Structure 1
Amino acid sequence: MGHPNIAVVVMDTARATETVPADPTITPTLAELADEGTAYSNAFTSAPWTLPSHASLFTGTYASRHGAHGGHTYLDEGYTTLAETLAGAGYETVGISNNTWITEEFGFARGFETFHKTWQLVQSATDLGEVTRAEHARGKLDAFVSEAFSGNPIVNGLNAIYDEFVRTNADDGAAHTTDWLADWLGKRDGDRPFFCFANYIEPHIEYRPPREYAEPFLPEGTYEEAIAIRQDPRAYDVGEYAITEEEFALLEGLYRGELAYLDAKLGEFRAALEAAGEWEDTVLVVCGDHGENIGDHGFLGHQYNVYDTLLHVPLVIHGGPEPAADEDELIQLLDLFPTLLDLAGVDAPAAREQAQGRSLLTRETPRESVIAEYVSPQPSMAQLEERFGSIPDSLYEYDRSLRAIRTDEYKYIRGSDGSEELYDVEQDPEERFEIAATEPEIAAELAAELEGWADSFEHADVDEAVEMAEATKGRLRDLGYL
């Protein structure tokens, strides 16, 4: 294959519960890719939310090392990214994002010749999102006037109109993403191979799939009822409102509808690659960056814990040589960094030296464990207090960092507050029964292994908060992060 094209599609917030193995009644395109390629049944992210997980995917390093997490929401330049590495090897590099975290504002556009944000008609560093969020005409005018002359006023005006009147409240990012990618593929000129990264956000809160994709997973006639359910993870955390079991069941139906909708657009992306004559020369990787709790463990969304509902994700690789790693062995998403360099035929010794993952093409022995981190709460307790005033005392239990180590048999979680949890994931895959007190030797063994791992590399020295634009904060609030 020489230097093949590399396409990485992140199904943001896609958890293994609905996607491993790929269910043709929910995700037929993913199921077809899995049948034709390699589907890993035990793939785990190294962080339970978007920013640190993508930073690990882009650099091949854990959050403690790359330093992008809740306490420092920026991917610093200390580590080279996959896009930078492939660009240096002659690849055309193109990225498209539907997630506010994955932009140049947080350090994720480095190495991309073209980087497109789907919420802007004309790409600009100025975000007019506050215009859209203002509820009344005067508020919209004030928001526009305050930002209009930051950058190009004409561009800002076009983006404000696009965000306010053209984009809809229903999920349309996947359609826009696929159309944009198809247009780019149709206009490509040149012989260089490409590296294409795409973040599709549809399974992320708020779940608003088109009716035709949601209704197969909902009781008849309940689509409007399901859409009307409040979806605000942070307000749910602080007890501002409750969700019944019946409502969680409806939200699960919407979530599956989101996956089905995204999968249809994934099929269109494949068709676009075929139409452009690039399919046979392309290695396509499809993965989730983290999972989701939809009432699981008492949570809504993907913060404050490291259960498998957040860490276990789909991973399918289509094209390229047969991987050496078995489909059922433990895989980390950061293994993709050296794997993709191998697939691209790129040496890049400095980039390989930084990577903490192991290539799926060349490794001889399976992993015995995978590790994940939740370095800092996002949002912090202070941010919750700023939004809600007082918060329940129980929430302060989340004011800690977490590390987890998981083998085929056991999962051990250690908190910076000294807390520990142990689960027999072979017998109790839903992590319902905590057994640290009854299995102290196993807990101690895994705790020692986790501590040894943490001591085996230099950690990033970053703890300062990163300033962000008000419009960015608004978009992140919409996604349940603030």
Structure 2
Amino acid sequence: MIPPPVSVRLAAALAVAALAVQPAGVAAEEPDRPSAAGRPNVLMILVDDLKPALGCYGDAVAQTPHMDALAARGVRFDAAYCNQAVCAPSRFTLMLGSHSTSTGLYGLGSHLRQALPDAVTLPQRFAAAGYRTESLGKVFHIGHGNQGDPESFMVPHFKDKVIEYVAPENVGGPITREEALFGNVMLDRIGQLPRGAAYESPDVPDDAYADGRVTAETVRRLRDAKARREAEGTPFFIACGLARPHMPFSVPQRYWDLYDPDELPAAEFVEAPDGAPGVAIKRGGEINAYKPIPDGGDPEPGSELAKTLVHGYYAGVSYADAQVGKLIAALDELGLAENTVVVLWGDHGFHLGDHGIWTKHTNFEQAARIPLLFAGPGVSAGAATGQLAESVDVFPTLTELCGLPTPRGPQPIDGVSLVPVLKDPAARVRDHAYHVFPKQRLGRAIRTDRYRLVEWIDHRVPEAPALLELYDYRDDPLETRNLAEERPQVVERLRATLADYPKPLKPGETPAQAAAKPAPPMTRAEIAAGLEAHD
């Protein structure tokens, strides 16, 4: 039987939820859980390409007073990692609670509903519990042939630009490569289009760019949400996505003026790690879509161009910070702060010339590590934790914080709830983080407090030996040397951890296709558990 369209299935699910009957894939309400009227609101703030270049994370240069103030209200995760360092897949992991290796959603152009037609995303879970769900700005990735997931939210998405110019010298010409990619137009001739400017700094107000407009609209939606809650008792789930500091660094002049170019940090180690496999290294890529970066190359370390790009990134961070300040101020002014859970999440990190790499798309620390802040009811104030965390953990954490049933699918739920850590930052719920990046090989990584192991496997040649990386962040935080051959016992231990994860889907493979194959061999943990059961 052919299932009805996703939008029809969602509408039906929400209708039965309103009658206190849960949709398929959503557990029944537990008797001791509060009704929707008694639950806290949720404001998710998603910031594109934001690594922990924030004052609250110890960056002495970053001018981020508003994110720092938000951190002071709640819990800061100092060891949080994305599950894949590129926009669309990272946002899928957040909204599904599923690793890329569980869904096959590895690409910018991956389509969620083609891979998982019956998935219940994080906002859908909240809608089924009586919340009004809305999205603004860059929430799901839209572009590169991807339309995001319109079915996830109850009202039409408020979309604005990611690639934007307002300086006179950068407007009025033909569409640029990145404008076309993010506009889902001319996708068959991207290489024939001109490159856009890598940065601009006109003297304009915040709302000259999309993030200012998205923030202003989110504030208006918060006012409406307060009135709706007072009249109807309906809590809100609002996701607000900010585009900066994603390139181009198109940011109002006053945010550039916050920084002295001579005081900005420069990459300390600009070479590939000694002994790293070639597949781990990135050269060029996204950065080459912009001028004046050398076409097909990278900025020279220490060059004026490299310094300007670092300046633009920090200006973008401060511009995003100002928008966060407006959102938190609105919560305070409207009297919503005490009953609203706020999450601030960066979708992945960003290379600024370290290892000679720019932007993201790697398994290295600068691409994988992210800021993650929680504040609001049920969250300790003014605390920091070294608990390792992943993007997939946000889904079960928010459902538990807000009194919703524990998510159990229908998609794989790979995250764990961080609520014990939000209540006691010394608590621990996992001993490692897992992430992945697909290139010619698939690189799966285990990050512990001290080490990162990356195992690169070749799906095309299953019998080919894996390529391995091992980095010791206690003794070598800049990843200058691959230690995989020197520390075989550490490699063996971390590969055993990796072996306990389900077999990864191949790029382009859907869960349904994988399920139709013969069952894979049992993992070591499954064999051990079976032996114990028969002892």
- Tell whether the structures are fold-level matches, with TM greater than 0.5: yes
- Match of 2:214, SS state, is helix
Partners of 1:237 and 1:422 in 2: CA distance: 32
Q: Aligned AA for 2:247?
A: I
Structure 2 counterpart of 1:403: 444
8 Å contact from structure 2 (residues 46, 344) kept in 1: yes
Residue 255 of structure 2 corresponds to 213
Distance 1:5 1:404, change over 3 A: same
Higher RCO (CA 8 Å, separation ≥ 6 residues): 1
Match of 1:422 among 470, 476, 483: 470
Q: Which of 427, 430, 433 lines up with 1:370 in the alignment?
A: 433
Asked if the contact 1:45/1:311 (under 8 Å) is kept, the reply is: yes
- Go from structure 1 to structure 2 and tell me whether the alpha carbon gap of 1:102 and 1:340 turns closer, same or farther (over 3 Å shift): farther
Q: Note if contact 2:432-2:448 (Cα within 8 Å) is conserved in structure 1.
A: yes
Deviation at 1:170, TM superposition (A): 9.9
Q: CA deviation at 1:281?
A: 1.4
Count the aligned residue pairs: 393
- The RMSD of aligned alpha carbons is 3.4
Q: Deviations over 1:417-467 (max 9, x none)?
A: 432111001221221221112112212221232122234xx7488449xxx
Q: How far 1:349 moved relative to its partner?
A: 4.8
Deviation at 1:199, TM superposition (A): 1.2
- Give the aligned residue type for 1:402: G
Secondary structure at the counterpart of residue 354 of structure 1: coil
Distance 2:506 2:128 in 1: 25
CA distance in structure 2 between the aligned counterparts of 1:234 and 1:330, rounded to whole angstroms: 33
C-alpha deviation, 1:272, in angstroms = 1.7
Matching of residues 325-474 of structure 1 within 5 Å: 327-347=385-405, 349-351=407-409, 354-362=412-420, 365-375=428-438, 377=439, 399-417=440-458, 418-455=466-503, 459=505, 462-463=508-509
Alignment of 1:66-85 (within 5 A): 66-70=103-107, 73-76=110-113, 77-85=117-125
Preserved contact between residue 173 and residue 202 of structure 1 (Cα < 8 Å) = no
- 1:25-40 alignment runs, 5 A limit: 25-40=62-77
- CA distance in 1 between counterparts of 2:391 and 2:379 reads 18
The verdict on how the C-alpha distance between 1:46 and 1:461 changes in structure 2, with shifts beyond 3 A counting, is closer
Query: For residues 376-404 of structure 1, what are the alpha-carbon distances to aligned partners after superposition, in whole Å with 9 as ceiling and x for unaligned?
Result: x4xxxxxxxxxxxxxxxxxxxxx222111
Per-residue deviation, 1:356: 1.2
- Greater helix share, 1 or 2? 1
Per-residue deviation, residues 14-42 of structure 1 (Å, max 9, x unmatched): 11244661658521111111112111111
Counterparts of 2:404 and 2:43 in 1: how far apart (Å)? 15
Look up the equivalent residue of 1:51 and give its one-letter code: A
Given the alignment of the two structures, is residue 317 of structure 1 paired with residue 353 of structure 2, yes or no?
Answer: no
Where do 5+ consecutive residues of structure 2 fail to align? 1-33, 163-169, 176-184, 186-203, 265-283, 422-426, 459-465, 511-535
1:267-278 matches, cutoff 5 A: 267-278=325-336
2:215 to 163, 166, 178: 178
Q: Say whether the 8 Å CA contact 2:84–2:90 is kept in structure 1.
A: yes
CA separation of 1:358/1:400 partners in 2, compared to 1, >3 Å: closer, same or farther?
A: same
Name segments (4+ residues, structure 1) moved above 6 Å: 167-171, 323-326
Residue of structure 1 equivalent to 2:296: 239
Q: Calculate the TM-score normalised by the size of structure 2.
A: 0.66
Task: Report the structure number with the largest CA radius of gyration.
Answer: 2
CA displacement at 1:275 relative to structure 2: 2.8
TM-aligned CA distance change 1:84 to 1:454, over 3 Å: same
Structure 1 CA distance for aligned equivalents of residues 49 and 58 of structure 2: 15
Query: What is the rounded CA distance, in whole Å, between the counterparts of 2:208 and 2:453 in structure 1?
Result: 37
Q: What letter corresponds to residue 370 of structure 1 in structure 2?
A: A
The alpha-carbon distance between structure 1 residues 170 and 401, as it changes in their structure 2 partners (threshold 3 A), is farther
The one-letter code matched in structure 2 to 1:414 is: E
Structure 1 residues 286 and 451: alpha-carbon distance in aligned structure 2, compared to 1, 3 A threshold: same
3-state SS, counterpart of residue 328 of structure 1: strand
What TM-score do the two structures reach when normalised by structure 1? 0.73
